[in-house]
Amino acid sequence: MSDTIYRGIATSTGDGRAGGRAQTNDGLLDVTLAIPKEMGGPGGATNPEQLFAAGWASCFHSALKAVAAQQKTQISDSAVVVEVGVEKTPEGGFGLNAALHVELSDVEQETAEKLVEAAHAMCPYSNATRGNVPVTIDVTVG
């Protein structure tokens, strides 16, 4: 395994997702957590799935921009929406599923799909979840 380039560090305290707090070591992220209403909680605060979705969306979008630059393809307007779902496993635990929605302008559908495929191969979140989390990806060109 190669040397680590960067390590993000976060700590969860209190009651975890049930009213706890999550902070990064640099203090730039400091959020109160709550179980979503859909899972029987009070809602009203962020949850781990939202944090994971935000990280993946940002990372994937960066990978998409990098791939486009490498391939000398101009994309002027783009967005990545990531949905992270919680599901029950047959063993009685919980698992995740994900849907990635990629929106691009000023490129043909085939080009957009190739860029997204390459970004999915580059993105660390995509690589970490591959084979572990069911993922669907759709690409919209506008």
pLDDT 10s digits, 32-53: 999 999 999 999 999 999 999 9
pLDDT at residue 2, as a whole number: 77
In this prediction, residues 50-65 reach a mean pLDDT of: 98
β-bridge mates for residue 94, sequence order = 88
Confidence of residue 76 (pLDDT cuts 50, 70, 90): confident
Mean pLDDT, the chain, whole residue set: 96
Domain ranges of the chain: 1-46, 48-141
Sequence-ordered strand ranges (E) for the chain: 10-13, 21-24, 30-32, 78-88, 94-104, 135-141
Fold of 1-46: N-terminal domain of TfIIb (2.20.25)
pTM for this structure?
Answer: 0.93
Question: What mean pLDDT is predicted for residues 69-83?
Answer: 95
pLDDT confidence of residue 52: 97
Q: Greatest CA span in the chain, whole angstroms?
A: 49
CATH architecture of 48-141: 2-Layer Sandwich (3.30)
pLDDT band at 101 (very low <50, low <70, confident <90, very high): very high
